[in-house]
């Protein structure tokens, strides 16, 4: 029997640790893993569309990988709780030697070896083990939902960074156009001054307007570079790493009102969308799972003060010199907690308080979700109306500027009318860019408020609203 025990010990020492690096219960299969081997060298060199930016952000952004790591922690803790349903098997092997010396005479050396194998299994504990497993199951569900919440947050950051870069580029181009218009006014004023038609006041005013336009362009170029750094950081890169984007097309130079879709078409479904958001939003699913985990924790705390029944068995082999002895035993152990200094009482009270706090937090998040759907819907309506209005504003300001410039060049207008018209046109350009940016971002914010921020956002404007 002694060799058998040695074999079992070596088997447990050599094989069982292999399971530590694996996932015997397959708990990580439900987790959404980021792309393998994330790193800066994996970034493509081609120009990126919005879909590419989103994919790369979800893959490389540290927030998604941190959420995945946190979910793996909860998966491992659930595995610990699930392991309580399996028996424990322990092996021990030892040896000793003894030699005594009495009055210059030594006794022979005594050698001994021993090997022990023990088995134990929890038979019954008044539901504490089941409650603990349920608690960790719900915490794992919360971690998975939190992964989805983080992915949607990074998704929104990527969309915002993408549109911010394009909006900054459009703003710089608009500033350059305004700067060129101010230069034309300065040239016209200079020509009229040389012809003796106007005084130097016109040229000074035109020079001031040109310098202001130049300063505005420089400021916007700085914001553009800052937006590029934000985009690179969102993709998990250093801020100074250049990222090339595809041409924005007409994202900010004029959005087709037909492509926008009718925002009012689904206003009647707003209440139903609020209810759907309460079911679909991952942050609410995470809060619900945490609440269920806190309820199970109350049962765990109560079971701590209740009896438990455990079965055990052991076998041993002893060898002293050439004498062998064997032993074995079976036992049932009933453990009855009698008094713990009221520790169990206060553990139960703490668990009940955490359950109450989780319920209140869930209620708060449900109310907040309804408010976010309502506010994002109102922001979307405002953005749609603003986009339509700024298009008309730009058209009228552009016509007024052409007319004022023509009148001034013809000698029938004054410099103040021209500069005012150019200032109004520059403002209209920036307002159109701002309205287009608000339109794109309000759609994304509305999708996130509904818990539907995914690739449907890249399809037709309101595909994410459809059931």
Degrees (nearest 5) of the Cα angle 408, 413, 414? 95
DSSP for 89-141 reads EEEEEEEEEE--EETTEEPPPEEEEEEEEEEEEEEE-TTHHHHHHHHHHHHHH
Q: Which residue has the higher pLDDT, 260 or 354?
A: 354
Residue 318's DSSP bridge partners are 114, 325
| CA 428 – CA 423 distance, rounded (Å) | 9
198-238 pLDDT, tens digit each: 889 999 999 999 999 999 999 999 999 999 999 999 999 99
Q: Which helix (H) or strand (E) holds 308?
A: strand 308-320
| CA 331 – CA 356 distance, rounded (Å) | 42
> If you average pLDDT over residues 369-375, what whole number do you get?
94
> If you average pLDDT over residues 321-340, what whole number do you get?
86
- The edge-to-edge listing of strands for the beta sheet with 88-98 is 88-98, 110-124, 308-320, 323-335
Q: Please give the DSSP secondary-structure letter assigned to residue 39.
A: -
Q: Which residue has the higher pLDDT, 97 or 378?
A: 378
Full-model pTM: 0.85
Residue 235: its pLDDT value, please? 92
pLDDT at 440 over 80: yes
* Residues whose CB is less than 8 angstroms from the CB of residue 333 and which lie 6 or more positions away in sequence, other chains included: 309, 310, 311, 312
pLDDT at 2 over 50: no
Specify burial of residue 311 (Cβ count, 10 A radius: 0-12, 13-18, 19+): middle
| CA 332 – CA 372 distance, rounded (Å) | 58
Domain ranges of the chain: 45-88+127-306+346-465
Nearest to 366 by CA among 447, 278, 288: 278
Burial 342-366 (b: 16+ CB within 10 A, else e): eebeebbeebbebbeebeeebeebb
Give the residue ranges of DSSP H helices in 195-314.
200-234, 257-260, 270-280, 282-303
Nearest to 369 by CA among 263, 273, 466, 467: 273
Average pLDDT, the chain: 86
* 382: number of Cβ within 10 Å: 15
Residue 1: its pLDDT value, please? 44
CA torsion angle for 333, 338, 342, 345 (degrees, to 10)? 60
- How many alpha carbons lie under 13 Å from residue 92 in its C-beta half-sphere? 10
Residue 250: its pLDDT value, please? 64
Burial 189-200 (b: 16+ CB within 10 A, else e): bbebbeeeebee
Residue 97: its pLDDT value, please? 72
* 243: number of Cβ within 10 Å: 21
- How many alpha carbons lie under 13 Å from residue 74 in its C-beta half-sphere? 26
349-366 pLDDT, tens digit each: 999 999 999 999 999 999
Q: Which CATH number is 45-88+127-306+346-465 given?
A: 1.20.1600.10
């Amino acid at each position: 029997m002694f060799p058998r025990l040695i074999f079992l010990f070596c088997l447990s020492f050599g094989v069982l640790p292999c399971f530590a690096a694996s996932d015997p219960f397959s708990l990580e299969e439900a987790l959404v893993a980021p792309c393998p081997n994330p790193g800066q060298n994996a970034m493509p060199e081609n120009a990126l569309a919005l879909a590419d930016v989103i994919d790369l952000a979800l893959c490389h952004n540290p927030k998604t990988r941190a959420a995945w790591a946190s979910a793996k922690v909860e998966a491992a803790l659930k595995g610990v709780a699930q392991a309580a349903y399996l028996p424990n098997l322990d092996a021990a092997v030892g040896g000793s030697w003894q030699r005594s010396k009495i009055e210059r005479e030594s006794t022979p050396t005594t050698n001994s070896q021993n090997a022990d194998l023990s088995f134990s299994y929890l038979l019954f504990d008044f539901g504490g083990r089941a409650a603990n497993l349920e608690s960790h199951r719900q915490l794992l569900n919360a971690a998975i939902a939190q992964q989805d919440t983080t992915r949607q947050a990074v998704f929104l950051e990527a969309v915002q960074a993408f549109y911010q870069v394009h909006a900054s580029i459009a703003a710089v181009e608009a500033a350059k156009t305004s700067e060129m218009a101010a230069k034309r006014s300065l040239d016209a004023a200079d020509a009229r001054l040389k012809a003796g038609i106007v005084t130097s006041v016109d040229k000074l005013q035109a020079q001031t307007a040109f310098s202001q336009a130049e300063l505005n362009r420089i400021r916007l170029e700085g914001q553009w570079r800052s937006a590029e750094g934000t985009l690179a950081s969102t993709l998990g890169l250093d801020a100074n790493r250049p990222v090339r984007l595809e041409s924005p097309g007409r994202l900010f130079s004029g959005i087709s009102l037909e492509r926008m879709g009718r925002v009012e078409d689904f206003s009647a479904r707003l209440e139903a969308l609020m209810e759907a958001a309460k079911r679909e939003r991952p942050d609410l699913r995470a809060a619900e799972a945490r609440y269920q985990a806190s309820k199970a924790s109350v049962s765990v705390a109560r079971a701590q003060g209740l009896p438990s029944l455990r079965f055990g068995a052991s076998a041993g082999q002893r060898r002293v010199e050439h004498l062998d002895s064997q032993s074995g035993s079976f036992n049932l152990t009933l453990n009855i907690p009698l008094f713990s200094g009221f520790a169990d009482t206060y553990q139960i009270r703490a668990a009940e308080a955490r359950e109450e706090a989780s319920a209140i937090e869930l209620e708060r998040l449900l109310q907040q979700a309804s408010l976010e759907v309502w506010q994002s819907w109102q922001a979307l309506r405002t953005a749609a109306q603003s986009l339509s209005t700024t298009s008309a504003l730009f058209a009228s300001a552009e016509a007024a500027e052409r007319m004022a410039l023509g009148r001034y060049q013809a000698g029938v207008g004054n410099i103040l009318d021209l500069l005012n018209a150019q200032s109004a046109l520059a403002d209209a350009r920036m307002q159109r860019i701002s309205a287009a940016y608000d339109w794109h971002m309000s759609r994304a914010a509305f999708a996130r408020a509904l818990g539907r921020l995914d690739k449907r956002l890249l399809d037709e404007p309101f595909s994410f609203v459809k059931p």
